[in-house]
Amino acid sequence: MRALPRRALISLVQVYRTWISPVRPPTCRFTPTCSEYAVEALSVHGAVRGVYLSTIRLLKCGPWHRGGWDPVPE
C-alpha cells in the first residue's frame, strides 16, 4: 500500500514527459533532467521525501543557478 502514492506520482511525471515536455523547448539546466530526477527521487526515497527533493530541484531551476550535474542524494 505504501508504494501506491509513489507509483501515482511517477505516473504523473510520465504523463508530463509524454504529453507536455515534447511541446516545450528544452530548457533544463541540469543533468539528469528534472523529470528524470523526480522519477529517481520518488523511486529511491518514496513519495514524501521524493516530492521534497523534486521540489527543491525545481526551485533551483532558474537563471540564479548555474545547473550542471545534480544527482539524487543517497
Mean pLDDT in residue range 4-16: 96
Is 27 within the bounds of a domain? Answer: yes
Is 40 within the bounds of a domain? Answer: yes
Please give the grid coordinates belonging to residue 69. 550535474
Looking up cell 527521487 gives: 41
Is 28 within the bounds of a domain? Answer: yes
**How do residues 11-68 score in pLDDT, each as one tens digit?**
999 999 999 999 998 888 899 999 999 999 999 999 999 999 999 999 998 888 888 9
Q: Return the closest-CA partner of residue 40 out of 62, 9, 64, 65.
A: 9
Residue 1: predicted pLDDT: 63
- Could you give the number of structural domains in the chain? 1
Range of the domain at 39: 3-69
Is 74 within the bounds of a domain? Answer: no
